[in-house]
């Protein structure tokens, strides 16, 4: 966590220095520690650029915890918002809002994305528990893939027949921290806080669930209640993150594995660790992506996948991956 906090601080400060008009790191530090409202560069940093790392912090926390929670509940090491259909549900709701109701703001996307994420999550769970069968990791993964495929096909059909919706949606769908303001942070922050608190409360029970449902019941856990609370938590987290920054993939998959490789399978350590590793990973990827193509702009979702892929592959090949 100390290393991740250091990465987060360095990447955050570095991100404030990168932009259409580069600003020396020393000036950035001065603006953060001794703000001068008469200094134009200080005003640019605080009033314009500060929103990006703050939003990256909030979205990174949400995605990291959501991914860790999904992997723990489903006992599937590949579980993350994209694989279980949450992103697809949020996306189709946003597309319908754009094409049918003319929604064009991130604040307008938020209730749509949350509703779509919730409906998709419920559909995946119901499909994975048909005929009174337990929701096994394999069944949930297959149900998530099926739901995501169907929703993606419907989304594409709407976009292909609605040019204005396509033009508005493509900037949101790539996943980015650019162009948001503090109102977006204020809107999603309460949802993220509630989701994180609920996840931390469930951490001891998730350890019991990892031993098997029967063993968990003998230890006093209530699997149905635990799954319901976990579902509510990751719908709030994934829905808020997707509404704020678009469907950014990979962070929710990689962050829990990075933490698990260091601390082992204890959810009481994984969830707090993911709260730090997730935003550090996201902000660092965003800063490095912008720096590599400066003065152009590499969208955050693309940077997270391109720069994070080799790290995750190296982690897998090191054989330090802990069991879910």
Residue 224 has pLDDT above 70, yes or no: yes
Q: Report the predicted TM-score, pTM, of the whole model to 2 decimal places.
A: 0.89
With 90 as the cut, is the pLDDT of residue 238 above it?
no
pLDDT band at 167 (very low <50, low <70, confident <90, very high): confident
Mean pLDDT of 23-34: 90
Largest CA distance in the chain: 68
pLDDT of residue 320: 56
CB atoms within 10 A of CB 215: 12
Give per-residue pLDDT as tens, 289-311: 888 877 777 888 888 888 777 87
Mean pLDDT value across residues 72-80: 79
Q: How confident is the model over 254-265, as pLDDT tens digits?
A: 899 889 888 988
Considering only CA atoms, which of 62, 47, 110 is closest in space to residue 251?
62
Confidence at residue 190, expressed as pLDDT on a 0 to 100 scale: 93
Give the whole-angstrom CA distance, residue 236 versus residue 239. 5
pLDDT value at position 22? Answer: 85
Q: Of the given ranges (10-19, 69-78, 273-282), which has the lowest mean pLDDT?
A: 69-78
CB 43 within 8 A of CB 173: no
Name 152's Cβ contacts closer than 8 Å, sequence gap at least 6.
88, 91
- Has residue 111 got a pLDDT over 90? no
Helix ranges, 20-129 (H): 25-33, 40-43, 51-74, 86-101, 106-128
Q: What's the rounded Cα separation, in Å, for the pair 315 and 38?
A: 47
Mention every residue, 6+ apart, whose C-beta is less than 8 A from residue 309. Answer: 250
Which pLDDT score, from 0 to 100, does residue 99 have?
A: 87
CB atoms within 10 A of CB 203: 18
Domains of the chain, earliest start first? 50-317 (1.10.3470.10)
Distances (CA, A) of 247 to 57, 89, 302: 16, 11, 11
């Amino acid at each position: 966590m100390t290393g991740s906090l250091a990465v987060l601080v360095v990447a955050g400060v570095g991100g404030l220095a990168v932009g259409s008009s580069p600003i020396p790191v020393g000036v950035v530090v001065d603006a953060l520690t001794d703000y001068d409202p008469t200094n134009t560069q200080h005003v640019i940093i605080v009033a314009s650029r500060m929103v990006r790392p703050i939003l990256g912090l909030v979205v990174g926390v949400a995605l990291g915890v959501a991914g860790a929670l999904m992997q723990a509940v489903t006992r599937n090491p590949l579980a993350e918002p994209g694989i279980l259909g949450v992103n697809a549900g949020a996306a189709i709701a946003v597309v319908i809002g754009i094409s049918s109701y003319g929604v064009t703001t991130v604040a307008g996307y938020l209730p749509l994305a949350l509703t779509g994420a919730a409906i998709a999550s419920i559909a995946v769970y119901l499909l994975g528990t048909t005929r009174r069968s337990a929701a096994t990791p394999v069944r949930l993964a297959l149900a998530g893939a099926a739901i995501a495929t169907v929703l993606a096909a419907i989304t594409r059909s709407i976009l292909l027949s609605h040019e204005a919706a396509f033009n508005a949606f493509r900037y949101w769908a790539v996943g980015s921290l650019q162009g948001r303001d503090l109102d977006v942070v204020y809107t999603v922050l309460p949802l993220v806080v509630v989701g994180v608190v609920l996840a931390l409360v469930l951490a001891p029970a998730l350890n019991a669930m990892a031993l098997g449902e029967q063993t968990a019941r003998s230890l006093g856990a209530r699997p149905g209640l635990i799954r319901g609370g976990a579902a509510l938590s990751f719908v709030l987290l994934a829905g808020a993150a997707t509404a704020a920054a678009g469907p950014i993939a990979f962070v929710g998959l990689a962050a829990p594995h990075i933490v698990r490789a260091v601390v082992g399978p204890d959810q009481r350590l994984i969830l707090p660790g993911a709260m730090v590793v997730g935003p550090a990973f996201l902000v660092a990827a965003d800063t490095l992506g912008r720096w590599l193509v400066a003065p152009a702009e590499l969208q955050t979702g693309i940077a997270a996948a391109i720069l994070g892929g080799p790290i995750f592959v190296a982690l897998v090949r090191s054989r330090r991956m802990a069991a879910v």
